Amino acid sequence: MRKIIFDTDIGVDDAFALAYAAKTQTILGITTVFGNVSVGQAVKNARLFSQQIGLKAPVFRGCSRPVGLAQVTNSALVHGSDGLGDALHNPFDEQADNAISFIIDTVKSLPGEVTLVAIGPLSNIATAINLAPEIIPLIKEVVIMGGAFGTHGHAGNVTPQSEFNIWKDPHAADLVLSSALPVVVLPLDVTHEVLITGEDIRQLNVPVLTQISKGYLQYSLEREGFEGMALHDTLTISWLNHPEFFTTVKSPVRVVTEGITLGQTLRRLTQLASRFNPFANCAEQTLCLEVDAQKVKQAFLTSL
Ligand code: BDR
Ligand code: CA
């Protein structure tokens, strides 16, 4: 069981990840960020979903817009206009204490013990290390759902090359991924391999998951052509519980921050002799490129 800060733009698969984390990790706090929904809606969703699953963790409000480019989109088609499938009444307030201060103060008070789980745009993490770079060596690990490296044909889900969380704030992602932080990346290469069906979800002991996932399942079937929903964010928690279910490679990572491949994640495929080496001075990160999907799915279902 790790001590985690759960950083989220809470939509449907984020909620699944939170339910899994609540069972298997110590959640020090939930920091919210814009992405699937506005940051205010993310605060409300974090409070509502925590209440539904009986989780008592403080909720904080983070970035309302990217560190870099503003991408004017939302995820209503996938996650519903409220981010939780438009299935629940949400009476909660959207004001909350500052997420960036919470990240910095918590890491400083527990040096070497805090894992950041980041499953939305990386704006909060980038801002925290920008403001307080001294926390970088104090963070145990940053576990990110984001990016796409093309294994099994999973290139992008928002553009042909780019994954949503990275594309939403490519500058923040490039800062975090090329920093000295120890990062583990769960890209679409693995997250798109683990699907659960409506029947799997109904059999869980968490009725709210059935309620919020109806629209997402319908979207996957009608728009993406497969039955079931990709567990995406949930795989960050799978990594914490069962790293042995993943095959990893070590590589520095950069993010394209302009042009038609905006938001694409690049890893080093060969050693470069060129004088322009985009990976110079970038730490080697851990990239999960293969997964035992059956084992990940089974462990998740069993735990819930
Ligand atoms: C990511 O995009 C979001 O819509 C999901 O919550 C997940 O974090 C998948 O690309
Ligand atoms: Ca997410």
ipTM over 0.90? The verdict is yes
Q: Which of 79, 192, 232, 242 is catalytic?
A: 232
Distance 118 CA to ligand 1 centre (A): 11
Q: Say yes or no to pLDDT of 72 above 70.
A: no
**Alpha-carbon distance 7 to 14, whole Å?**
10
Which atom of ligand 1 is nearest to 78's Cα?
4
Check residue 261 and give its pLDDT: 94
Check residue 12 and give its pLDDT: 95
Check residue 37 and give its pLDDT: 96
Q: Say yes or no to pLDDT of 262 above 90.
A: yes
Check residue 70 and give its pLDDT: 63
User: Average pLDDT of the chain?
Assistant: 94
Q: Say yes or no to pLDDT of 74 above 80.
A: no
Specify whether 232 is catalytic.
yes
Q: Say yes or no to pLDDT of 198 above 70.
A: yes
pLDDT band at 221 (very low <50, low <70, confident <90, very high): confident
For the segment 167-192, the average pLDDT, to the nearest whole number, is 97
* Ligand closest to the CA atom of residue 42: 2
Q: Which residue's alpha carbon is at the smallest distance from atom 2 of ligand 1?
A: 164
Say which range, 13-22, 23-32, 196-205, 295-304, has the weakest mean pLDDT. Answer: 196-205
pLDDT band at 71 (very low <50, low <70, confident <90, very high): low
Full-model pTM: 0.93
pLDDT band at 111 (very low <50, low <70, confident <90, very high): very high
pLDDT band at 183 (very low <50, low <70, confident <90, very high): very high
Which atom of ligand 1 is nearest to 146's Cα?
10
